[in-house]
């Protein structure tokens, strides 16, 4: 299994640990590596749906630690928050992440567009690593968004 697949597998494991505990929000997993490939942080969406996984994974990192690093996220980082907090895509931009590897897109109106924000900021985005597994995991969430 490639390093990308192993890191995404860990992110999916984290998301699955929180399954059923995140209210209306999907359970997302996030793993952040520094520029040398060392794990800096990891998290899943908090109980009740907040904080989001990316926010938690970035918490308590020294300023600049994630600069040039890679984030593995099971679901597209949100473009906008229903609260007035910074979105997850903006938090990744602000942290200086160089690459974001995403398992699958977020169809939710507030989530969709996060990939575009990341790319507009010059971040390399890879989509679809373990995408089929993520799509199965998020099937109920996807159905709730389309209904």
Residue 133 falls in the annotated catalytic set: no
Q: Which of 13, 42, 54, 76 is catalytic?
A: 54
Please give the Cα distance from 112 to 50 (Å, whole number). 18
Q: Tell me which residues are annotated as active site.
A: 54
């Amino acid at each position: 299994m490639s390093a990308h697949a192993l890191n995404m597998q860990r992110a999916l494991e984290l998301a699955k640990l929180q399954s059923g505990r995140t209210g209306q929000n999907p359970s997302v997993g996030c793993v952040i590596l520094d520029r040398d490939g060392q794990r800096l942080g990891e998290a899943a969406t908090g109980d009740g749906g907040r904080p989001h996984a990316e926010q938690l994974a970035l918490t308590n990192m020294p300023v600049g630690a994630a600069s040039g690093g890679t984030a593995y996220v099971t679901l597209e980082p949100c473009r906008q928050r229903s609260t007035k907090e910074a979105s997850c895509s903006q938090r990744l931009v602000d942290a200086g992440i160089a690459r974001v590897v995403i398992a699958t897109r977020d169809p939710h109106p507030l989530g969709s567009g996060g990939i575009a924000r990341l790319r507009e900021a010059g971040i390399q985005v890879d989509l679809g690593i373990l995408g089929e597994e993520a799509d199965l995991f998020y099937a109920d969430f996807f159905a709730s968004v389309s209904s």
